Amino acid sequence: MNDVNESALAFSGVNKTDVVNKPFWEGPWWAHSADLRSRLREFVKRAAQGEFIRDEVTHPARDGSLHNIDFTLTPLKNDAGEVTLLIAEGRDITDFTRTKEVLKEAERRATQIIDLLPTPLSSLIGKGASLPGTRPSRSSRALRRPTSSARGTTNTPFRFTEPEGRFSLT
Read off the CATH number of the domain in which 16 is found. Answer: 3.30.450.20
pLDDT greater than 70 at residue 139:
no
**Domain boundary residue among 42, 71, 92?**
92
Question: Which residues have C-beta within 8 Å of that of residue 148, sequence separation ≥ 6?
Answer: 154
Does the global pTM surpass 0.75? no
Per the domain annotation, does 76 fall within a domain? yes
**Domain boundary residue among 92, 121, 144?**
92
Alpha helices, H only, the chain: 6-12, 34-48, 94-116, 122-125
28 and 88 in a common domain = yes
Q: How crowded is residue 27: how many other Cβ atoms within 10 Å of its Cβ? A: 21
With a pLDDT cut of 90, the percent of the chain lying above it is 43
The per-residue pLDDT for range 52-69, each reduced to its tens digit, is: 999 999 999 999 899 999
The per-residue pLDDT for range 68-80, each reduced to its tens digit, is: 999 999 999 999 9
pLDDT greater than 70 at residue 165:
no
